[in-house]
Structure formats: structure tokens, C-alpha cells
Structure 1
Amino acid sequence: MPRPLVAEVDLAALKHNLALAKQQNLQAKTLAVVKANAYGHGAVKVALALESDADAFGVASIEEALELREGGLKAPVLLLEGCFSEEELASCERQNFWVVCHSDYQIEWLIRYLSTTDWRPQIWLKVDSGMHRLGFDADAVAGVMEQFSSIEGLPTPVMMSHFACADQPAHPRNEVAQSRFNPVKTNLSSFANSAGIFTQATPADSWQRLGIGLYGGTPSELGLQGLQPAMTLKTAIIALRDISPGESVGYGATYTAESPRKIATIAIGYADGYPRQAKQGTPVLVNGVEAPIVGRVSMDMITVDVTDLPSVSVGDEVIMFNEQLLADRVAKCCDTIDYTLFAGLTARVPRRYSE
């Protein structure tokens, strides 16, 4: 019998979330972001399920893009960080990938390469609107565009930016970021990530980038806003024991019982991607009822106090997060965000897909 740990992915929820995002701006195009193995959900499976609905897909690197092509995806794929070497452009041409340019050296590589071929990819030009991570200053964009204008047949670049505080819609830095991005004259733009899609008015001629929202994570402080969590992470009880007052549980004896307690051991740990820093009291669902984690998360196992549950047995189902126990709530107990709970799941956690 296999270890009772699985991440169940609801493809219908993904389709619902994509459709909901598209409804926010019926004239905009939507880039489905499937980097980091589709935030842990399985990039090839997710992309193929959404290929007829998304306008393009976004990844972090050419390795991730090639995995999609090898899996059978024919839709446009954008390298969100561009190329990491000039040699990658040949692969981009063979596979017809789109590329982001965020630095002068990438522009130099691209112009040099395009002078040797008839290939004319869709370029996305990254503008730094205040995050200071990647991108050209707004006043440098005109010069870059002038370089591109000398390349016959090159499509109009999409001007993109990323707002540092988009998940806080009322944050004053959003207005500052918008004011920096506005001077960039373009017919195509992209500044709305998942948070922006549901909280900001975006231009009709824009691309919106759906990342965490695609998976039913929490895109902003306003909550899910109709999005459906797509992943259920579940395991089972593999051992039960009663402990007496004064006895401890787990490494470092960080939890000591003050009264008689019933402790369940469940089959999941930090080697599966569950955060080791989960605090005492972090909730799980045992047979649909909340119970607290006690003791430290170890590599393969976690201990849970099930004293107050009416009836528990070895083999009973344990949910780590789902639509009832949101990953965002669990993440807060671990001093992190739901992105890391999804993307951090390791390869030894089987993924199971349903429509």
C-alpha cells in the first residue's frame, strides 16, 4: 500500500479561476503563469488543461518552457525573466518562445541574434515602476524602442511592469508605480498580476498575468473574491498513542502535555514541503474537524492532538489545506504565504488530477 499522502488538483477549479479573471476585463488577454511547476500543481497537466482558454503561458526559464513543449503544449510561452545567455535564443527560435527583456545586455543579445534570422518573436519589455528588481527606468524605454524600431517585422513590444504592493489595493505606492508606468507610450501593456486583476481597472488593450489567483490562492488582502482553491493536500493517521501529563512530543520536547492527551502521527513532513516552522496549534482537518499540530514538524511525520475529537482511528483522513482550511490561513501559522505551501511541495508528493 502506498504512503497515504497526495496533492489532489481540481482542474475544473483552475478553469473556473481563469474564466473569472477573464470576466474582469473581457477585452484583455490573459497570461496563465505556470512557473515553478505551476506553483506546485504540475505545469504540463495544468497548461494542457487550460490551453484552449489561456492566451499564453508564463514561465521563469527556458527549462520550464521546454518542459511544456515536450509535454505537448503548442500555445505561446513567455520567458518572464528573459534569456540567461545569448545561446538560449536559438532554442527560443526553434520553439517560438516569447521573451522578456529587462536589461541592456538582453537587448544586445536579441538585436545581434535577430540580425541573423527572419524570426520575429513577441517581445515583452520590462519597466521598473518602483520594485527595483528587474526592468528599465521609464525614461530609458524610448531609447530601447528606438533600437527595436530598426528591426523590420518585429511586433510591437508589450510593456510590462510589476507593482510591489498590488496585494494591498489602497497602498499609496500603487499610485506612485502607476504614475511611473503611465509615461511609457504603448499600444500594449501588462501591469496587472492576480491582485491587480481583481482590484484595479486595467486597459482594454492589456495583458493580465494570472499567477496565484489561477490556483485559488489568496491574491490580495481582500480575500479570494470568488476564486476556488484548486489543491487539496491530504494524508492519513499512521499511529495513535495516549500520553500522560508531563510527557513531551517530538524533537526538542517543545510540547509537553498538561493533561492526558491522545496524539496522532500523520504521514507528512518537511521533506514533502510542509513548513518545519509551523507553530504549535497550526490547524489540520481530521475527518473534517480541526485539530492542532503539537511538537515540531519532522522530516516525514507530524504529530497532532486529537484528544477532543469524538472518534479517531489509524487510516483516518487528514487534510493539511483545502477549500475549507485555506492554505493562506495555514501559511500565516507558519510565518509564510500560501505561494510557498503550493510551490514548496516536493516531487515525492504524488499529484492526482480530477475534472
Structure 2
Amino acid sequence: MKSPARPLRARIHLDAVLHNYRYAKRLAPSARALAVVKANGYGHGAISLARALASEADGFAVACIDEAMELRESGIRNPILLLEGVFAPDEIALADRAGLAMVVHSRQQLEWVLAARPSRPLECWIKLDSGMHRVGLAPGEFAGAHAALADCPHVGNLVAMSHFARADEPEHPYTERQIAVFGQALGGLRIPRSLANSAAILAWPQAHGEWTRPGLMLYGISPLPDGHPLATPLQPAMTLESAILSIRDLEAGEPVGYGGRFVCDRPTRVGVAAVGYADGYPRHARDGTPVAVKGRRTRIIGRVSMDMITLDLTGMADARIGDPVELWGTTIPANEVAQASDTIAYQLFTGIGRRVPLIHEGLQTQWK
């Protein structure tokens, strides 16, 4: 007889993803939008997301050619941009065959493109370092790189792009400085522009340009400080859920979990849920990190283990083994869990372990 499956799963709400993409488009109605689905769609399942968005998405953005080929091999025909460009000159031939656009962020990549012999004109996004100081051409290099690519017979469409370092801080002047550096570097060039990540789509309309790049907001999480009104319409795209597998009552003074970090300060009802750091739940979640049992908020008590966490069920006399536990989703915002664990929602999502099944719901019925 087959034993019951472990109850942990990540439910992916494809309707929410489509809603969030449409919202990004409404905020920047004059721009086209690349849905950023790198890192397996931020842990949500890139192929399923791309299929759900394919009929509406202006294109997709991924980090590298392996991620792009996965989409192409699954039947995605929308434009795809390689955000990190190519890592070796022989990847240009692959990009050519698959019809991929590529970022050019260094002199070396520029030389590879100019020396290539593609079968069709290559689309290149020239990346300027406007102040992030990670990758990108220096402002003084931009005009020369643009001229070289514009004069190259096997290069087609060109887009100018950059990336913000502090767009998630709406009151900080650094984003305005980056916008100014970008504009000065481009001068009077008539070229499509792409600056806006999720935070800039929400908070910096002057940076929308001709192409936006919604990433985190696509998954229903705001990159802006709590309570920002423009983030309110976003819908969480993932519900990570499990179930209670054990309940016990402890007296005041009894420790819970490894190292006895939590000590009961009163008679405490303790539940155990089937999830741990091997599944991607943050090991450094503090006592008090929020969690929901049957839709009611409570807290984690004790250290996170590899496969289990311990919950405070005091005051939940009706809680039973098998009751649903939401780790994050519609009741418990992922940002709250991230803040209580000294991390960010990006890491929560992309850290989901391989033994956690992704259950895609909603729009997938249209393409199954």
C-alpha cells in the first residue's frame, strides 16, 4: 500500500502571475515589458509561467543561454533576452539559431559580436553602467560601442539599457542620479531605452522608457517599503504550504528544538509542521516568524530543522494533526518571513528545494 505523500508543496497561481504582468503594463502603458523568468521563474517554474504568459508577453528575460534554450525547447516563441549576454563567442551561434537577443555589457562581448557570422541580424541590448558598478560599459564607452554595433552589417535592433541600484528606496536621490548619467551618456541618440526593473516600474515613471523588465513584482511581491500604495494591487503567485504532523503540550520552562533556543514562558501547545531548511525554508528564521494554521496567524518557536519546524498552537484548541499550514502566500506575505529571517523574498523563492513539488494552478488548463 502506498504511503501518503509528504504534505509540503508550493502552489503557483498562474492567474496571479498574469494579473501582475498586466498591472506592470498598465503602469507603463507606452512601454513593452519583458517578463523576467530567470532562475526557473524565481523558483516558480519558468516553463509553466512562460506558457501562461506567452499569448500576452512582449518577451521574456533570462540570465543565460541554458535558461533560454529550456524555454525554446518547451515551445516558447516569444522574444527572449539574455540578461548576462553570452559567456563565450561560440554561444553566439546558439543564440543566432534560437533567435535570442543578447545584452552586451563589456568590450569583450562587443568584440565577439562584431566578429560573429550569424545567419540573421543579431539584436543587442547595450548595457551602460550608470552607477550600479556591477557590469556595463562606462558612460564614456557607450557612444563608441553604439556606433560600432550600428555600423555592423550583421547587427539588427539595438536597445540601450541600465540597471538601478536603489530604485526600491523611493526617497533616495541615487536613482535620479543614475537616470541623469544614462541620459548624458546617450546624448541625442534615438534608440529604445530600458531602465525600469520592478521597483522603477512602481515608483519611477520617468524611467519607464520603451521597455520595462518586471521581475519580483511579477510574482506578487513588492520591492518597495511596506504600505506603498502602488504595490497594493499585486497578487502573491506562490503559496508554500504544509500540514501539522505532531502536537504536544509542554509546561512552562521546557525548551523547544535544537539548542533550546526557545523556552516556554507559559504552558504551551506545540505543533510540528513538515518543512525545513532542506526544503528552502530559511534556517535563520527567528522565534516569532509568522505562519498560519487553518488561516489563522501564529508564530514559529525554536530553531528550524532540516525537515521540520515547531509552531506555537497555544490558544488553538481545535488544531489537529493534518491541519494546513501556510508558510507564505496570501495570508503570510513572503516579505514578512524574509524580514524575520534576515533575507529577501528573492532568496526564499529561488531557494525552494527540489523535493518541494510545484503545483501550477489556473491558466495552465489553457495549454495542457
TM bucket normalised to smaller: over 0.9
Conserved in 1, the CA contact under 8 Å of 2:118 and 2:154?
A: no
Q: In the TM superposition, what whole-angstrom CA distance separates every residue of 1:288-322 from its partner, at most 9, and x where no partner exists?
A: 11111011001110000101213111000000111
Q: For residue 123 of structure 1, what is the amino acid of its counterpart?
A: C
2:93 maps to 1:61: no
* Residues in 2 aligned to 1:187 and 1:149: alpha-carbon distance in whole angstroms: 11
Aligned twin of 1:235: 242
Distance 1:148 1:218 in 2: 36
1:118 to partner: Cα distance: 3.3
- Matched-pair contact (CA < 8 Å) for 1:25–1:202: no
Instruction: Say how many residue pairs are matched.
Output: 353
RMSD: 1.3
Which residue, 336, 345, 352 being the options, matches 1:345? 352
Greater shift after overlay, 3-12 or 203-212?
Answer: 203-212
Give 1:304's match in structure 2, choosing from 308, 311, 314.
311
The 5 Å alignment of 1:124-143 reads 124-143=125-144
Residue among 198, 206, 211 paired with 1:207 = 211
2:335 alignment partner in structure 1:
328
Which of 29, 34, 38 lines up with 1:31 in the alignment? 34
- 1:138-287 correspondence to structure 2 within 5 Å: 138-152=139-153, 154-183=155-184, 184=186, 185-202=189-206, 206-221=210-225, 222=228, 224-287=231-294
SS of residue in 2 equivalent to 1:22: helix
Structure 2: gaps (5+ residues): 363-368
Structure 2 distance, partners of 1:108, 1:77, is: 22
Q: Deviations over 1:32-83 (max 9, x none)?
A: 0000110110000001100111111001111111111121111111110111
Alpha-carbon shift at residue 203 of structure 1 (Å):
6.5
Counterpart AA for 2:121: R
Partner of residue 55 from structure 2, selected from 45, 52, 57 = 52
TM-score normalized by the length of structure 2: 0.93
Q: 2 CA distance for matches of 1:204 and 1:305?
A: 45
Runs of 5+ consecutive residues of structure 1 not aligned to the other structure: none
Distance 2:332 2:209 in 1: 37
**Which whole-Å deviations, capped at 9, do the CAs of 1:132-153 have from their partners, x for residues lacking one?**
0010112211110121122125
Large movers: runs of 4+ above 4 Å: 202-205
Q: Is the 2:200–2:208 contact (alpha carbons within 8 Å) kept by the matching residues of 1? A: no
TM-score (norm 1): 0.96
Aligned partners of 1:117 and 1:312: how far apart in 2?
A: 63
- The DSSP-based 3-state class of the residue aligned with 2:287 is coil
For 1:166, give the aligned amino acid: A
- For the Cα contact (< 8 Å) 1:243–1:263, is it kept in 2? yes
